[in-house]
Copies of this chain bind each other. A is one copy, B any other.
């Protein structure tokens, strides 16, 4: 873990929040001690609720390395990733995550990270999204075609 990488993430976050790009969040992705990508929250700038720093950093790193597997990379984030970003880190197969503020710190300045964790953990009765399962049989046919596909690339 190196302070200079968190400094880069924090510097990006500061720039972004001062320019009204989004919340005070930054992230960098490191491979062999080199910065592969850096990003800050751009939810407001891009009108994109998925434009969190970690998601943008992962997308940039994948594009740069031309692969969706970032298992040889580390990620630094100024805040504990929300469930969206934490799951994205898993999908990217990143093994090491260094973060600054906690989800409780984020909740204290008005962000829902902690609430979404509670919904997923089922430790709250509050609910924002109504989930209904329907047409499973129709969708299972897609899964069967995937299972039987000879040239599939599992990821």
Contact = CB atoms under 8 A, between A and B. Distances in A.
Interface string A37-48: 000000110111
Nearest to A64: B47
Contacts of A25: 142
Contact of A100 (B52, B67, B82, B140): B140
A84 B115 CA distance: 14
A96 interface: yes
Chain A interface: which size bin? 35 or more
Interface in A102-147: 102, 105-106, 108-110, 112, 115-117, 119-122, 128-136, 138-143, 145-147
A132 B79 contact: no
Contacts of A108: 143
